[in-house]
Structure 1
């Protein structure tokens, strides 16, 4: 009550003022936009690196089935016999070390 007399309005009225609401929505949208941008950059970068690494190793990125022995289709994609995913696998880029005999 003393605060209301000193300021001239109640704290609840101040929280519902248009200026306070505009500030809240501005900060919420700005923070959400920045966090969404950072999240999307991190997730997409990690996903593309994982796909590239698995296809170089001769594995299907969707199910980890060996696809390096499969023949590519006419469009250049290798279809995984396990899950049906189609991936562009560069032939001869297997990362396994060669055995020296």
Structure 2
């Protein structure tokens, strides 16, 4: 699977990533009490999640850490990625961390 962006006409996911990176720049992405910046991340996917009781999707940006992060209080795992849910105003309202055992 290629890690290089594919050129296509559908630009909405790239616009979502631009909005996400603005939120990151404003200091909204906090993991383990550390404010992350864009230089630490590689956005890899935009997900539109539809709840069955809501017609509007939640928009989630998935990113990998360029360098895995230590997990406080743990010695046998690393955080390797983060998902962030954006609200309609482009603010990060929810964060999920992906932790892998080593």
Same-fold status (TM-score > 0.5): no
| TM-score (normalizing by structure 2) | 0.27
Point out the structure with the larger helix share. Answer: 1
- Which of 1 and 2 has higher RCO (CA within 8 Å, sep 6+)? 2
TM-score normalised by the chain length of structure 1? 0.27
Task: Give 1 or 2 for the bigger CA radius of gyration.
Answer: 1
